[in-house]
Amino acid sequence: MRNRSTVRFLTWVTTFAFLLTAGGAVAAELPVFTELVADNGPAVVNISTTQKGKKPALPPGMEMPDLPGMPEGPWSDLFRHFFDEERGYPEREFEARSLGSGFIIDSGGHIITNNHVVEGADEIIVRLNDRRELVAEVVGSDPRSDIALLKVDAKDLPVVELGSADELKVGEWVMAIGSPFGFDHSVSVGVVSAMGRSLPSESYVPFIQTDVAINPGNSGGPLFNVDGKVVGVNSQIYSRTGGFMGLSFAIPIEVAMNVVEQIKEHGQVTRGWLGVLIQDVTRDLAESFDMERPVGALVAKVLEDSPAEKAGFQPGDVVLEFDGERLERSSDLPPLVGSIRVGDRITAKVLRDGRERELNVTIGELPAEGALKPTASEGRVQTDKLGLSVVEPTPEQRERLSLAEGKGVLVESVQAGAARDAGIRRGDVIVRIGGDEVTDPGQFRQLVKEVPAGKSVPVLVQRNGGALFLALRVPEE
């Protein structure tokens, strides 16, 4: 009995000692950021901006209230001053303030921050780690990447060391320094949770996604790796409350420095342009294109007089490779195109009609934002097989939809069935089924009859000025 107790006691001691040793080993592997903060903190700055302006005292459409003693009386001048713009009284002045962060990249006083931190500012004040406050000017900015380059008049400033986001790996530790809610030089740490993340409003930035705590005021601050080198510019958070919820996004430092160099050299930023509207390849679409798995970027529309049109791109092409880079998803294409120099000639590999083809394209310059704008009848056909009714568009509808004569049919109604399941809506214009262009309702009916039952076929529709492929599965009779 005594021997068994002794064995149990020794086993418990051994296990406890092992756990202590293992816990110590794990703790020893965790990074310590104290030296990184001490070395790099002085090069991180707080940025505050002031924007002055005027605004109406009342919302548009509202009038000055009809009060006793109006229009004459002791209170008339006071109310007119605040409410009556039509009689020449001034609007109310306001002063908006915002906070952000930034970091110094050279001893001459150049500072990187986010464009949205300084956009529209009348005055920009940079506060250094030693409490000095300097007035900054905007050297240049790029709204598409959300990067701005500032300059302060000072010498011998501390600077950060730049690293490479290309070398980051998911799960790697990273650290942010910034001014969340105005609390200067606050430090937060976490790990890289994804790379090359695409956001709906930002097509040209392959974001670094982290779980580092980023809050209002952190924007424009640096993201460091464990070697103390800047790998990104903290830019956005995903939040339903306005505060940190576990998802933060940083602009890769390579993207930021490309913008900085272009601003320094040319005073503006240019990007490569292909001229296609693209979408993801879903599982159903992959099946309809006879692809083994959903990869690449599906071309839904080729813009007129674009580099893509000149190179021979067609709607329905699936871009599998661009300039030697394989595309897993459609979001991989825009930042890749944008990073190529204007005028460079590259090769793209596309899947068309079940065969891979190579297209040579000369990259154009991305037009300014806003320069590119998307652009009861006879001949009705009801297809009970799909639950769909289509009509020949009228001349007025064709003009409104920018639809050429002899192309496309207008969806008049969609009932329960295959068309609705595919995502086709009333008001869509069906311009293509499989590899065939749709010319009129009669030809549309014939194309539907020729599609094998139970098979998915790609259908190209125009919707709200854009183009979209949908996978339509024709049901069995």
Q: β-strands 345-352, 247-252: how paired? A: unpaired
Q: Which has the minimum average pLDDT: 18-22, 127-131, 193-197, 268-272?
A: 18-22
Q: β-strands 147-152, 110-114: how paired? A: antiparallel
**More confident of the two residues 114 and 473:** 114
Which helix (H) or strand (E) element contains residue 141? strand 133-142
Provide the pLDDT confidence category of residue 457 given band limits of 50, 70 and 90. Answer: confident
Asked if the domains 272-365 and 381-473 are classified in one and the same CATH topology, the answer is yes
The correct answer on CATH 2.30.42.10 for the domain covering 272-365 is yes
β-bridge partners, 365: 272
Q: What is the DSSP string of 61-115?
A: T------TT-SSSTTHHHHHHHH-TTTTPPPEEEEEEEEEEEEE-STT-EEEEEH
Q: What is the pLDDT of residue 421?
A: 86
Domain boundaries, the chain: 41-152, 161-266, 272-365, 381-473
Q: Residue 400: is its pLDDT beyond 90?
A: no
Look up the CATH architecture of domain 161-266. Answer: Beta Barrel (2.40)
Mean per-residue pLDDT for 147-163? Answer: 95
- How many other C-beta atoms can be found within 10 angstroms of the C-beta atom of residue 231? 24
Which helix (H) or strand (E) element contains residue 4? helix 2-29
* Residue 63 structure tokens: 């009038």
Q: What is the pLDDT of residue 252?
A: 96
How far, CA to CA in Å, does 111 sit from each of 207, 221, 258, 340, 373?
20, 10, 14, 25, 35
Mean of the per-residue pLDDT values of the chain: 82
In CATH terms, the superfamily for domain 41-152 is: Trypsin-like serine proteases (2.40.10.10)
Report the SS3 class of residue 208: strand
How far, CA to CA in Å, does 81 sit from each of 59, 68, 73, 101?
15, 17, 14, 39
Q: Residue 360: is its pLDDT beyond 80?
A: yes
* Residue among 451, 393, 374, 376 at smallest CA distance from 419: 451
Provide the pLDDT confidence category of residue 377 given band limits of 50, 70 and 90. Answer: very low
**More confident of the two residues 387 and 276:** 276
- 332 and 320 in contact (C-beta within 8 Å)? no
Provide the pLDDT confidence category of residue 362 given band limits of 50, 70 and 90. Answer: very high
Q: Which stretches of 303-399 are assigned E, i.e. beta strand?
A: 318-322, 325-326, 345-352, 355-362, 364-365, 381-383, 388-391
Q: What DSSP character marks residue 281? A: -
Does 141 participate in catalysis according to the annotation? no
The predicted-structure confidence for 49-98, as pLDDT tens digits, reads as follows: 988 765 555 445 444 454 454 445 555 454 555 555 444 445 556 566 77
pTM greater than the 0.85 cutoff: no
β-bridge partners, 175: 189, 224
**How far apart are the C-alpha atoms of 447 and 434, rounded to whole Å?**
9
Does 211 participate in catalysis according to the annotation? no
Alpha helices by DSSP H, 333-424: 333-338, 395-401, 418-422
Mean per-residue pLDDT for 452-465? Answer: 84
- 253 and 230 in contact (C-beta within 8 Å)? yes
Does 116 participate in catalysis according to the annotation? yes
In one letter, which amino acid is 109?
Answer: G
- 120 and 51 in contact (C-beta within 8 Å)? yes
In CATH terms, the superfamily for domain 381-473 is: PDZ domain (2.30.42.10)
Annotated active-site residue in 39, 76, 84, 116: 116
Provide the pLDDT confidence category of residue 171 given band limits of 50, 70 and 90. Answer: very high
Q: What is the pLDDT of residue 90?
A: 52
* Residue among 364, 350, 361, 277 at smallest CA distance from 311: 361
Q: β-strands 229-238, 161-162: how paired? A: parallel
Contacts of 115 (CB under 8 A, 6+ apart): 141, 142, 143, 145, 146, 147, 148
β-bridge partners, 123: 50
The predicted-structure confidence for 205-249, as pLDDT tens digits, reads as follows: 999 999 999 998 999 999 999 999 999 999 988 877 777 788 999
Measured on CA atoms in the order 129, 134, 140, 141, is the torsion positive or negative? positive
Annotated active-site residue in 48, 101, 145, 146: 146
Q: What is the three-state SS of 399-452?
A: HHHCCCCCCCEEEEEECCCHHHHHCCCCCCEEEEECCEECCCHHHHHHHHHHCC
Annotated active-site residue in 219, 331, 389, 456: 219
**How far apart are the C-alpha atoms of 227 and 274, rounded to whole Å?**
37
Which helix (H) or strand (E) element contains residue 263? helix 253-266
Q: What is the pLDDT of residue 63?
A: 47
How far, CA to CA in Å, does 468 sit from each of 51, 339, 389?
41, 25, 19
Report the SS3 class of residue 268: coil
Measured on CA atoms in the order 80, 84, 89, 93, is the torsion positive or negative? positive
* Residue among 394, 416, 418, 397 at smallest CA distance from 462: 397
